[in-house]
Chains A and B, each alone.
Chain A
């Protein structure tokens, strides 16, 4: 896509999202009435907080002193040489708890306190969001229950142990496909029953309004930092920004500051699993259709009757059959480009980063790396020079060592 095509992708008039959380035809609230009061309360608390200097100062201080942000923007020279592009890694893997997720969690935990609620619940796929939530709950002295698909509790056993060490209760979910979508169903059911004293700390920029907008605002520091860091480092904005897309928080976090910079191409890489054509994937935008899931209208993997289809990905954190509504809108408006990356491509990029840079990425983030490797030659040809690509390295790979070890066949037999 040319820079001009991007520039022509204009936003519809008015505020986005609108006051009811609509991003064009996406977003909104498709929830039981029982939750509306809590969503309204949350919306009011969040809007008040975002203009309250005391809140913002507290949030900033936590991000800096506790989470360790701003994260570095690192010029990955050896990886760049292989990529044929200058790759700048936004090192969210270096944050406390090992991923971008901590930013959202600290923001929502602060809001929970402000709303006077004593209990947080969360869904988790890879376990990163669960760990981040358990961490914030320990820090803020909140009771914490994390719902996790039974399949994921097995592939991410290390994170289950971490959550328990931090004092959280982990509930393995045995309904449906036993992955992230079912964990989200169970968390919703818990919330409907306990909404008085409980905040549902959703882990990505999806779900009913105000979650998509609020989560984006809590993580948008990623892009604000990266934009300035890139200017400082290279004297210019990057040619492209790349991120993996599960529910979409790390991608929106890094995209948001760049959306007005229409010369900067935005690429979201979805989990292509075994290949979109096989049907075994988690690429909701590339391989799905518009529908309603988990409280919002967005792209969904579903059959003709609107029944959700199970997603597949080697990465637990991307294994979700929906996507945040703002991505659906960015896709429709043409401002961002979405493409699938297969398990195989992601694992090749995973290995390449390990061997060239001594950095073990999360398998989720490896999808963004693989995507950058794919777009680099086209961008170089289009620009007639080496392109500069900022890649959101959304998390570290410690939690994935077992999966990756099995994948590469490097574990010793017992």
Chain B
């Protein structure tokens, strides 16, 4: 079983959800992002979702766009992101990479899979790659034993939900809201329905993302999903801070609050 699978199993045995925390690689710098992701793990984040910054992130809202722009402006390269995976994986937490497809295609799909596996990454979350176009990635992830997380959406038909879940390994990513990333005051009613529809077609754990920003919201999502995925709210801790120390302190505090939230599922 994949390392992510182990994390989900352990959490399930403890009667709680897994907390997945997202951070762009190289934001605000390579070293700064390693410090941020390490702090998140220390404060209770179970799984790190490291996003490779991309110039045209169409699934992302303003917070991740801004952080990605800062990372790219600081000069982070795809090869650096592998170094970050290695450093963060050393904390013991599983590190899954989220990436738009073009950076991988340019690095070389097989080469990236090889290097990601060597760096200790668990696999990829691919927001703009659907299984229909993924032949090369299916082969490379099989060859190097990497997980594949494709997204399912409230608008997915039953047939697509089944097809997509069948191509996943590790966990399935349910996009709770029809919309881009960004913390919202309320998570959606569509999410529990999507999770139960997904459970009907797969035994894989289901993570829910898009919109979670507080411990209470994390508790709500933990009530029906196996994983709670948080991005923009964590990133904002760093974006809004006057300096790194303040940012990391805020990041730790929010990580701890969210970790508490996933341990108190509201059912």
**A32 and B59 within 8 A (CB):** yes
Q: Which residues of A contact B77 (CB under 8 A)?
A: 305
B137 to chain A, nearest CB (A): 12
**A308 and B55 within 8 A (CB):** yes
Q: Indicate whether A260 reaches chain B with its CB closer than 8 angstroms.
A: no
Q: Which residues of B contact A292 (CB under 8 A)?
A: 100-102, 105, 128
Q: Indicate whether A119 reaches chain B with its CB closer than 8 angstroms.
A: no
Give CA–CA (A193, B184) in the complex, Å.
Answer: 13
**A307 and B103 within 8 A (CB):** yes
**B130 and A189 within 8 A (CB):** no
Task: List, sorted by A's number, 22 A–B pairs whose CB atoms are closer than 8 Å.
Answer: A28-B132, A29-B132, A31-B128, A33-B150, A33-B155, A33-B160, A34-B154, A35-B155, A37-B155, A176-B69, A181-B56, A188-B58, A192-B179, A292-B101, A293-B56, A293-B102, A294-B58, A295-B128, A302-B106, A305-B107, A306-B105, A308-B56
B70 to chain A, nearest CB (A): 13
B182 to chain A, nearest CB (A): 10
Count of A interface residues, CB-CB < 8 Å: 36
Q: Indicate whether B152 reaches chain A with its CB closer than 8 angstroms.
A: yes
Q: Nearest CB to that of A310 among chain B residues?
A: B55
> A292-330 toward B: CB 8 Å interface, digit per residue (1/0)?
111100001010111110000000000000000000000
**B179 and A30 within 8 A (CB):** no
Q: Indicate whether B74 reaches chain A with its CB closer than 8 angstroms.
A: no
Q: Which residues of A contact B151 (CB under 8 A)?
A: 32-34
With known contacts A28-B133, A37-B155, A305-B78, A192–B102 Cβ distance under 8 A = no
**A31 and B102 within 8 A (CB):** no
Q: Nearest CB to that of B78 among chain A residues?
A: A305
Give CA–CA (A275, B128) in the complex, Å.
Answer: 33
Give CA–CA (A29, B129) in the complex, Å.
Answer: 8
Give CA–CA (A410, B59) in the complex, Å.
Answer: 45
With known contacts A195-B155, A292-B102, A292-B105, A36–B160 Cβ distance under 8 A = yes
Of the residues B54, B58, B127, B129, contact of A307 by C-beta under 8 Å: B54
Q: Which residues of B contact A20 (CB under 8 A)?
A: 132
Give CA–CA (A194, B102) in the complex, Å.
Answer: 25
> B98-140 toward A: CB 8 Å interface, digit per residue (1/0)?
0011111111000000000000000000011110110000000
B55 to chain A, nearest CB (A): 4
**A192 and B59 within 8 A (CB):** yes
Give CA–CA (A192, B127) in the complex, Å.
Answer: 12
Give CA–CA (A195, B128) in the complex, Å.
Answer: 16
**A192 and B58 within 8 A (CB):** yes
Q: Which residues of B contact A382 (CB under 8 A)?
A: none
Q: Indicate whether B217 reaches chain A with its CB closer than 8 angstroms.
A: no
Q: Indicate whether B250 reaches chain A with its CB closer than 8 angstroms.
A: no
**B72 and A307 within 8 A (CB):** yes
List B residues 43-76 near A (Cβ within 8 Å): 54-59, 61, 65, 69, 72
Q: Which residues of A contact B141 (CB under 8 A)?
A: none
